[in-house]
Amino acid sequence: MLGRPQSDCLSQHEYNEPKVNTQHIILSDLEELGRRVRRYLDELPDLPETWAGLSRSWAPPLDCHHDLNRILRVFDLITMEPGYELDYLYVSTRIGGQPFPYARHRSEPRISSRQEYKKRFGLVIPQLLLGQEPTPQDSTPYLDHLSFDPTPLGLVQFALFNLLVRRFYLCWHAHYNTRHFVVDASDADLIRLPSDPFVDPGDSAGESLLPILRATITRSQMAALRVYDLLPHLSAADDRTAVRFFCHKHNAGYAYCRGS
């Protein structure tokens, strides 16, 4: 089964020969999903200027509130339990700000402080969590009232949903873990362009090393990757299924990452 979300970078020797099973993912389904993801990200609202630099947490007022439930239109194989919807607490410090999504029943009041968040979910939002990778222990209270279609495409949607659900209204250091994921062939073509700014054009040896978290991919290795190699893949181990994405992370470069 697909458990709580995790993300991890594959080691250097694993990335070009992943043990995956992809025959049940239909490329046209990925193309449609890719279009919806790009449209959703393009239409995300900008962070209100008055929110930046505020050291507090609050429930954003409805007149400038991003409706997080819009993300469910992108991932049509994910559904909320009847009566529940997605909402979020916004947390801001001197070094940045970001949302913390959760699920609530429509009859429940919105959460407006860290203290309320802790009381309702038994979870603490650490002061230094901004800009760090989310962990299952402190960042996924929305999963308790969410389900998804247990098909290969449903697994891809669920993993990508978990990787994108917090990606709005980010401020400063909270951008550090923003990743850009390859969903379909259009995304793959964009990162394979010769003008890619993360490939050093002045490298006379033609082997510019790109820092990839704990791995590196050279220019020639990048050129050898097929579009198929960059698309989401499923892999199974024990009782868990993981979805592997090719992604680019701010200040880190390209990598294969797992969402599970």
pLDDT in tens, 51-87: 877 788 888 876 667 899 999 999 999 999 999 999 9
Q: Within a domain: residue 9?
A: no
Q: Within a domain: residue 168?
A: yes
Q: Please give the residue range of the domain that contains residue 116.
A: 27-259
Q: Within a domain: residue 48?
A: yes
Beta strand 84-93 with 146-148 is unpaired
Hey, which of 36-45, 171-180, 243-252 has the most confident mean pLDDT? 36-45
Instruction: Count structural domains, the chain.
Output: 1
Q: ∠ CA(21), CA(39), CA(217), 5° rounding?
A: 45
Q: ∠ CA(13), CA(207), CA(249), 5° rounding?
A: 60
Hey, which of 11-25, 154-168, 220-234 has the most confident mean pLDDT? 154-168
| Amino acid symbol at 80 | M
Q: Within a domain: residue 63?
A: yes
Question: Among residues 66, 41, 53, which one has the least CA distance to residue 171?
Answer: 53
φ and ψ of 33, to 5 deg: -65, -40
Q: Within a domain: residue 3?
A: no
Q: Within a domain: residue 79?
A: yes
Q: Within a domain: residue 16?
A: no
Whole-number percent of the chain with pLDDT over 70 = 68
The separation between CA 130 and the C-alpha centre of its own chain, rounded to angstroms, equals 15
Q: Within a domain: residue 62?
A: yes
What's the first-to-final CA gap in the chain, in angstroms? 9
3-state helix/strand/coil string of 179-214: EEECCCHHHHHHHCCCCCCCCCCCCCCCCCCEEECC
